[in-house]
Amino acid sequence: MTNPKTETYGYIRCISRSEISMERQKLRVAAFAARAGWSVPIIFTDIDVKANEEGSGFNALIKHCKAAPGSKVIVAEPSRFARFGVEYYRCLEACARVGATVYSTDGKPFDESKMIAELMLSSEIAEFRKRKRWK
């Protein structure tokens, strides 16, 4: 039995249609892949997606990763992948479920302790809101 082809993907998320920001992220993703000796990444982009939403680019990325287990996903930096702990976790989990590994071009590993702390804080805030009717 042969293994399916492993792919290299890039994910770019911008808050506006700034060509400079998008191009800078694409260059960082491509340079990271080249340094690692990987194939030129297929880039998926989401523009002006709200903090707690998954965009069509992210959903397409997951679909492609599912078809190629063992894929590599490169993001320019963790804040471009996801802004907050809960979203961060959902994005990493979605990639892990389809067998993809996420890499950041800033050289920093995805900080799970930060993610866990934010998840705990958000659940504590939710509980406080329930008890105190705080909005």
Average pLDDT, the chain: 76
**Predicted pLDDT of residue 29:** 94
- pTM here is 0.72
The mean per-residue pLDDT over the stretch 99-114 comes to 74
- Per-residue model confidence (pLDDT) at position 117: 65
- What's the token pair of residue 132? 């105190």
* pLDDT value of position 8: 93
Q: Tell me the C-alpha to C-alpha distance, in Å, between residue 49 and each of 100, 101, 104.
A: 22, 23, 20
Contacts of 88 (CB under 8 A, 6+ apart): 78, 81, 82, 110, 115, 118
Indicate if the pLDDT at residue 130 is higher than 90: no
> Nearest Cα to 45, choosing from 29, 32, 34?
29
Decide: 8 and 33 in contact? Cβ < 8 Å.
Answer: yes
* Residue ranges of domains in the chain, CATH in brackets: 8-132 (3.40.50.1390)
Burial class (CB in 10 A: 0-12, 13-18, 19+), 62: buried
Instruction: Give the integer Cα–Cα distance in Å for 11 and 46.
Output: 8
Question: How many angstroms separate the CA atoms of 81 and 74, rounded?
Answer: 9
